[in-house]
Amino acid sequence: MRRSVFHRKVSHMRTLIINRNDAGQRLDKFLSKAVKAMPKSLMYKGIRTKKIKVNRKRAEIGYILEEGDTVELFISEEFFSDNASDSAFMKLTPKLDIVYEDENIMLLDKRPGLIVHSDDEEDVNTLISHVKAYLYRKGEYNPEDEQSFAPALCNRIDRNTGGIVIAAKNAEALRIMNEKIRNDELSKFYLAAVHGHMPKKADTLHGYLRKDQANNIVDISTVKKPGYKEIITKYRVLDENNSLSLVEVELVTGRTHQIRAHFSSIGHPLLGDGKYGVNRDDKKLGYKFQALYAYRLEFRFRTDSGALAYLNGKSFSIDKSKVWFLGEFE
């Protein structure tokens, strides 16, 4: 008779003690992070058959874990084989431009050309790896002490766009900040250099956007079509030269490539934009990146913000001298 996978290769019971960063999660969500190699079907079966218990008792899948709870697992040791901590970031000498930092979050000025997360081409030299290395050296993060949490980025910007990215140092800050972003309780402002002179000194642009996932490009329409989502982009002109306009942009909606594609669709592509602009001409002039910088962030909380309430009403900006394309308007 086939032996149950819950008893195969089990040397002893594993006990996981819930810490501050584990607390507040559903039991199944915690287990999917803490025991990555265990199939979900077996996880649910283990909870149902009391091979996985909380505080020595049967627990529901949706039980919300509290700090100090114990999770006992009678499962094969093989499921813990993939739980070795990611230590590649420890090789890095962290290089971060920190706009603001406290015990919960960091605001970082990401330089153009640096990716935020790993991709097929780069696995270590990423913004999140530099964050982990920085916090590890400060003694604020050690992967060996964590079961289901690692410092994380709350927002992302394109590789070749510079500007403010939010990093959460703990699970509570991550949950709150992600909720605020979903509820549009943050205002993000960008500086952009666009080709030509805008027809109005300030305006609100409306349109619809569809993302082509396979080719990582978006299409803009002035009328609603199936598969297109509404976009709203506010701008005001700050300066002009012979061929360019410097605009401040506020995203009312935040879609993929929204600023780049929206301005291109009205005949004013961003300087240096190889995907939506006139990159052939821009490259001759030495421009490698699209002239776009997320330079200001405002927290405008309308709902309970818990441990991050102190951020409400605050505004943070980067040093404009670091915006590489502002020299075009001097």
Helix (H/G/I), strand (E/B), else coil: 321: helix
The per-residue pLDDT string of the chain (330 residues; one tens digit each, 9 = 90 and over) reads: 444 444 445 446 789 999 999 999 999 999 998 898 889 999 999 999 999 999 999 999 999 999 999 999 988 888 776 555 567 788 889 999 999 999 999 999 999 999 998 776 667 889 999 999 999 999 999 988 899 999 999 998 999 999 999 999 999 999 999 999 999 999 999 999 999 999 999 999 999 999 999 898 999 999 999 999 999 999 999 999 999 999 999 999 989 999 999 999 999 999 999 889 876 667 667 788 899 999 999 999 999 999 999 999 999 999 989 999 999 998
Q: Name the pairing type of β-strands 162-168 and 292-299.
A: parallel
Output the CA torsion 103→107→111→117 (10° steps).
Answer: 70
pLDDT value of residue 247: 98
pLDDT value of residue 2: 47
Which tokens belong to 318?
A: 């980067």
Domain 14-80, CATH 3.10.290.10 — does that match? yes
CATH architecture assigned to 88-175: 2-Layer Sandwich (3.30)
Portions of the chain given CATH number 3.30.2350.10: 88-175, 186-329
In angstroms, the CA 228 to CA 210 distance is: 5
pLDDT value of residue 120: 64
Q: What is the DSSP string of 9-74?
A: T--S-EEEE--TTTTTSBHHHHHHHHTTTS-HHHHHHHHHTTSEEETTB---TTPBP-TT-EEEE-
Q: What is the pTM of this model?
A: 0.86
In angstroms, the CA 151 to CA 174 distance is: 8
The CATH class given to the 186-329 domain equals alpha beta
pLDDT value of residue 279: 65
Residue with tokens 């431009």: 97
